Amino acid sequence: SGSIPDSILDIAPVIPVVVIEDAETAVPLAHALVAGGLPVIEVTLRTEAALESIRRIAAEVPDAVIGAGTILSPGDAARAVEAGSRFLVSPGSTPSLIDAMAGTGVPFLPGVATASEVLGLYERGLREMKFFPAEPAGGVPYLKALSGPLPGARFCPTGGIRLETACDYLRLPNVGCVGGTWLTPADALATGDYARIEKLAGEASALRRS
């Protein structure tokens, strides 16, 4: 029930950031995350298996909203969308990268860590972005401080966030959702422990702004 959210930030409280070493794990992994209540999945382009994993999830897990992270170049953006990515995430926001991501036609979250970078995105008409690396860059107090002069920016903080700290971010008015790798531990993926991943996703999907 309900309408489809306009923004990738408004679908689930947490976007799992996943590093997939073996494309054979991609579909069961995506099923586990969706079953746990986290349908938005960011597969990072950090492994050989990433694009094939996106292809398989796009083809076989229709309830997932599959996207690509670690977009570092215009070529990455094009390859990720060609593979079936429905959104793109970058750790940074250079002009050529923004042009390339915008040119694909899918929603995207460029990365920022300073007020000047937020203003750079404002100049491009962009209001939604990734805050990276969230914890090292200053975390919750830093984002709270940015909301004073820049109340129109909405963030997906990522970098060092865990279940225990996610709720503090989600309480901020300028945070739509958070991202992180804690939902998909490498050892759980290596051993095929999808029940554990579904449980971690279930705990995260229950987080709500209070």
The binding site for ligand 3PG (CB under 6 A) comprises: 17, 132, 158-161, 179-182
Nearer to ligand 3PG, 30 or 183 (CB): 183
Say how many Å lie between the first and final Cα of the chain, rounded: 22
Nearest-approach distance from CB 91 to ligand 3PG, in angstroms: 7
Nearest-approach distance from CB 153 to ligand 3PG, in angstroms: 18
199 is catalytic: no
Specify burial of residue 144 (Cβ count, 10 A radius: 0-12, 13-18, 19+): middle
* Exposed e or buried b per residue across 86-109, where buried means at least 16 C-beta atoms within 10 angstroms of its C-beta: bbbbbbebeeebbebbbebebbbb
Nearest residue to 99 via CA among 129, 80, 121: 121
Nearest-approach distance from CB 97 to ligand 3PG, in angstroms: 15
Nearer to ligand 3PG, 166 or 172 (CB): 166
| Alpha carbon separation from 40 to 93, 124, 168 (Å, rounded) | 22, 25, 21
117, 128, 130, 198: the catalytic one is 130
42 is catalytic: yes
């229709």: which residue's tokens? 62
Nearest-approach distance from CB 137 to ligand 3PG, in angstroms: 12
Nearer to ligand 3PG, 62 or 136 (CB): 136
| Alpha carbon separation from 128 to 26, 150, 155, 171 (Å, rounded) | 27, 12, 6, 17
42, 128, 135, 198: the catalytic one is 42
Nearer to ligand 3PG, 13 or 159 (CB): 159
Could you list the active site residues?
Answer: 42, 130
